[in-house]
Structure 1
């Protein structure tokens, strides 16, 4: 049996719509999904109890999908089943985003629960390589994407983010803890709006692709247009498109390209 630890954003609901059978939906009380009914809400302070309850219900696989911010911890709420996990959770929370996810994966695997990737459960979530929009990237855009690949690779080493915007070989903005939407919103306020550039997104180089695979959706496309960019590129096999047909249609309406490219640009 499959359980889904659902975060915020459109991915959890999109994943459930792709599955033949509805999984058990779990979610942190502080960050429930927007469009799914939660079967088993939990706090990190009661994570051990959640694992025990899942095993009792016959859960052997878990998928983690959606955005989850680090919750505030109330030590007085830590229950007896979670106490043995506290050292692991503490170390994970201090290890950056990737370290935190690896810590949780380790706890799940030690409990005998297999961690499944969203795109393995629903392969259609990952788009094929190529550019299916009406507008295609020209030579200048392709050169900027190659530069953006280098920028995101350098960001990966510092565990900074998964996206950037580049124009004429120069980084206009990089994704930080505030996320892609914030980065694009800052670009919309630049002194030369409408002057071009490309957006690029990819998973971090050492990222465990079973969890936290980056996503884009209609909001990303509209924000890129408002920022005055010429188009978007994403790493083939590494970025999920939510509602792909609608995203391509929106790119065509706004005059943007969307290029699913190999890592070498």
Structure 2
């Protein structure tokens, strides 16, 4: 773990944010919270409200705090206009709308120019990254394992195009891919397909795969799953969730695995081979 210093914590959405703030303070960090979205549970932090249209103000606040490190935690949702503004400020000349991978690279370059290193939330909160292999009591074997391996491989290919980090397959067929709505909306769409009888009534196993995009920095926007992912997957009829080992955050790890076991969903970590 990185030695404690002064941490500017950029907070997005999700349950991991307050956990990361508490863990950072327990480890001895001085923390300044900068919030990308309004959050009632952070009001006690007096967070600096990030305006993506004014990234200069964000950098000024980070300097004022005399941060030694920056950490981004939680989901980061930006409109096309906000993406274009950020890209232009970071020095990208064409001004076109950018995908998540490109924005991550621009953000890292911007902080590097300021002399401030990014650290990953996994360096603050222990035991977050998914291990390789089976993670619960439910095994993925035979045809289910082959489907999980196929799902993981095609999720990696989708990442090359800077699409979302997740997709769902039925046997050897891609059912749906994640878009700007995120994994929850992906699973909600799949539930509609199930209700319409388009999926879940054949012999092909339904599998959710989630992986980082090739070349994605380890310190920003890592894929994550939590108990809500399991609940939605169970509703759809997902039989296995496969994630990238060492690059996927398990939020509420014990509860996540327990809920997957109770739902009969296999949890599997696979190491990517193409980075």
TM-score normalised to structure 2 length: 0.83
Query: Structure 1 pair 187/69, CA: closer, same or farther in 2 (3 Å)?
Result: same
**Of 101-110 and 221-230, the range deviating more from structure 2:** 101-110
Identify which of 262, 265, 269 aligns with 1:256: 265
Query: What is the deviation of 1:219?
Result: 0.7
Within 5 A, what are the aligned runs for 1:4-19? 4-19=9-24
Q: Which residue of 1 aligns with 2:139?
A: 136
Query: Structure 1 pair 87/147, CA: closer, same or farther in 2 (3 Å)?
Result: closer
Determine the C-alpha separation between the residues in 1 that align with 2:70 and 2:90: 22
Could you give the per-residue CA deviations for residues 77-105 of structure 1, whole angstroms, max 9, x where no partner exists? x9xxx9xx736277576232111222122
2:217 maps to 1:208: yes
Query: What is the deviation of 1:56?
Result: 2.5
Q: Which residue of 1 aligns with 2:3?
A: none
Q: Contact 2:69–2:117 (CA<8 Å) still a contact in 1?
A: yes
Within 5 A, what are the aligned runs for 1:231-250? 231-250=240-259
Q: Contact 1:92–1:104 (CA<8 Å) still a contact in 2?
A: no
State how many pairs are aligned. Answer: 254
Query: Structure 1 pair 165/174, CA: closer, same or farther in 2 (3 Å)?
Result: same
Q: Which residue of 1 aligns with 2:236?
A: 227
2:149 maps to 1:146: yes
Q: Which residue of 2 aligns with 1:179?
A: 182
Determine the C-alpha separation between the residues in 2 that align with 1:173 and 1:34: 33
Residue ranges of structure 2 left out of the alignment (5+ in a row): 1-5
**CA-atom RMSD in angstroms:** 2.4
Determine the C-alpha separation between the residues in 2 that align with 1:246 and 1:87: 40
**Of 237-246 and 128-137, the range deviating more from structure 2:** 128-137
Query: Structure 1 pair 193/17, CA: closer, same or farther in 2 (3 Å)?
Result: farther
Local SS of the residue matching 2:260: helix
Query: Structure 1 pair 34/169, CA: closer, same or farther in 2 (3 Å)?
Result: farther
Within 5 A, what are the aligned runs for 1:1-150? 1-19=6-24, 20=26, 21=29, 23-28=31-36, 31-33=37-39, 35-37=41-43, 38-71=46-79, 86=89, 88=91, 94-150=97-153
Q: Contact 2:165–2:223 (CA<8 Å) still a contact in 1?
A: yes
